[in-house]
Amino acid sequence: IRLIPDLGLTSRSFVFEVIERTLHPGNIIRLGRYSEKTPASEKVSFKSKVVSRCHAELWVEDGKVFIRDAGSSSGTFLNRIRLSSPSTSTAGAHEMKDGDIIQLGVDYKGGTESMYRAVKMRLEVNREWQSRANQFSRTAFQHLQQRLIAPGTATTMLECCICMYAIAPFQALFITPCSHVYHYRCIRPILNQNPPGFSCPLCRTYSDLDANV
C-alpha cells in the first residue's frame, strides 16, 4: 500500500513523504503523532498536534485492507465520514478500497502552521505498475524526445542540462519556454530565486513563467 498526501486547492494541506508498506496478515500499522520517544519503525508518525499519539490502525485480512480509530481525541475520517463518536474510546473495523481518503483529526482554526492541520491522505493498493516505466510513459517519452531533438542530429538521448544525467520515463521534468529540458529537482532552486522571472541557465533566455498560455 501507499499513503500519499491528499492535496486540496489551497495551501493549507499537510504535506508528508510518501509512505509505502507491505501488509502481511497479523501485522498492524499504527498511525499517530510523532514522538522522539517512539522509534519510527513502530508506527507511522506525523508532526501534527491535532493527531493523537495512537490515532488509528491499519491491517489486512483476507486480502482486504481495514482501518479503525484507536480512541483518538479528534477523530478518524474515511471519505469524510467519522469512524467513531467523540464519546467512544474504540471503534469497529472499516474496509478500505484503493483511492479512499483517510483523515486524521481536524484543522485547528487558530493555527496557521502545518502542525495544526489535519493529515489527509489517499490510499493506493497494489499500484506497483505506476512506479515503473509502463507503455504509456514510454510512448509519451518517445513523443517528447521526437519533438525536442532536432532532425538530422546524432543525439539519441535527452540529458538534463544541469546534472548531465539522462532524462528518462517516470521523472519529473521542467521544459523551459526556450525548449531546454531539466530535471525538476535540478532546476527548482533556480525557479525559486526570482519568481515569476526565469532565466534559462543554458541560453540565458528570460521568460515570465506567469505569462498567459
Assign 3-state DSSP to the chain and report helix, strand, coil percentages, each to 5.
15, 30, 55
Contact 159, 43 (CB under 8 A): no
pLDDT in tens, the chain (213 residues): 999 999 876 667 888 989 999 999 989 999 999 887 765 556 899 999 999 999 999 999 999 999 999 989 999 999 999 998 765 666 789 999 999 999 999 988 765 677 888 999 999 998 876 666 677 777 877 877 777 665 555 555 678 889 999 888 778 999 888 888 899 999 999 999 988 999 998 888 889 999 888
In 3D, which of 1, 12, 10, 14 has the Cα closest to residue 103?
14
Contact 181, 171 (CB under 8 A): no
All domains in the chain, ordered by first residue: 2-129 (2.60.200.20), 133-208 (3.30.40.10)
Rounded to 5 degrees, what are φ and ψ at 5? -60, 135
What is the pTM for the complete model shown? 0.71
